[in-house]
Amino acid sequence: MESIRINKYLSEAGVCSRREADKLIKEGRVSINGSHALLGSVVSEGDEVQVDENIIVRSAKKVLIAFNKPRGIVCTTKDPKSKDVNIVEYINHPERIFPVGRLDKDSEGLILLSNDGDLSNRIMKARNYHEKEYEVEVDKPFDDEFLKKMSEGVPILDTITRKCKLRRTGKTSFNIILTQGLNRQIRRMCEYFDYRVVKLKRIRIMNIKLGNLKPGTYRNVTEEEYNELVKELR
């Protein structure tokens, strides 16, 4: 393993972002070989890294999978008190992976999972305007004015959503491409105009498409897809 800064090591191990790692270091919760880590400390081959006395191991094998999440599965950290099915436990991947972003319990479709925290953080940064595409069905027919207003920005969560692209696919259905990921954004946007989402399915994240992947199954992202993804992240 090449020598890398401790915050990058923690990020790539999937513990947290580099910024959050710096916070943990300042709080004295990170150690290298039994000594408190400092901002800028370097981790080398054979070093033992701990956070709150938990040993952190960065996998040498980078994993990035595309999963077709069924409805009813949650993407949040496992809560012992909750009866919800957690995405990580559902997949039961041999490597320690975590979801890249979120897809709410009632939604379905494409979500990426990885053990590369640094790559995950770059994908999730909203300021990079990365596209995500969804198929949406609402509870009643809508007119073209609805699509126009949705595309121009909607006031939700004390902000105005970014302009987005919409395309009608039926009397009660449309495709939408977003470049941000506010909490339950599409549902809230529709609710603002008195429509209720009855089905929401994500079919694309940047250059990675859901395709014919069956619900509840996953596939490894291809080398070609990965290289194109990294290119877009630059």
10-40 pLDDT per residue, tens: 887 878 778 889 999 999 999 999 999 999 9
Q: Which residues contact 65 (CB under 8 A, 6 or more apart)?
A: 91, 93, 97, 112, 113, 114, 218, 219, 220, 221
66-80 pLDDT per residue, tens: 999 999 999 876 666
* CATH for 64-126+208-233, options being 3.30.70.580, 2.40.50.140, 2.60.120.1310, 3.90.180.10: 3.30.70.580
51-60 pLDDT per residue, tens: 998 898 877 6
Q: Which residues contact 68 (CB under 8 A, 6 or more apart)?
A: 108, 109, 110, 210, 213, 214, 215, 216, 217, 218
Spatial separation of the C-alpha atoms in residues 39 and 35, rounded to whole Å: 13
Spatial separation of the C-alpha atoms in residues 123 and 142, rounded to whole Å: 33
Spatial separation of the C-alpha atoms in residues 217 and 206, rounded to whole Å: 20
Stated pTM of the model: 0.79
pLDDT at position 60 is 66
**Catalytic residue check, 104:** yes
Torsion of CA 213, 111, 137, 133, to 10 degrees: -100
* CATH for 4-56, options being 3.40.50.2300, 3.10.290.10, 3.10.450.100, 3.40.50.11540: 3.10.290.10
C-beta separation of 88 from 96 below 8 A = no
Average pLDDT for the chain:
91
Is 131-205 the same fold as 4-56? no
Domain ranges of the chain: 4-56, 64-126+208-233, 131-205
Catalytic residue (one of 22, 79, 104, 106): 104
Once rounded to an integer, what is the mean pLDDT over residues 207-227?
A: 96
Determine the straight-line distance between the first and last CA of the chain, rounded to whole angstroms. 24
For 39-54, letters b (16+ CB in 10 Å) and e give: eebebeeeeebebeee
What six digits make up the tokens of 188? 């809230």
Spatial separation of the C-alpha atoms in residues 183 and 131, rounded to whole Å: 16
Tell whether the model's pLDDT for residue 1 goes beyond 90.
no
Bridge partners, 142 (sequence order): none
Once rounded to an integer, what is the mean pLDDT over residues 134-140?
A: 98
Once rounded to an integer, what is the mean pLDDT over residues 81-106?
A: 88
Architecture of domain 131-205: 2-Layer Sandwich (3.30)
Question: What percent of the residues of the chain are helix, what percent strand, and what percent coil, each to the nearest 5?
Answer: 25, 30, 45
Spatial separation of the C-alpha atoms in residues 201 and 205, rounded to whole Å: 12
What six digits make up the tokens of 59? 């996998």
What six digits make up the tokens of 48? 């033992």
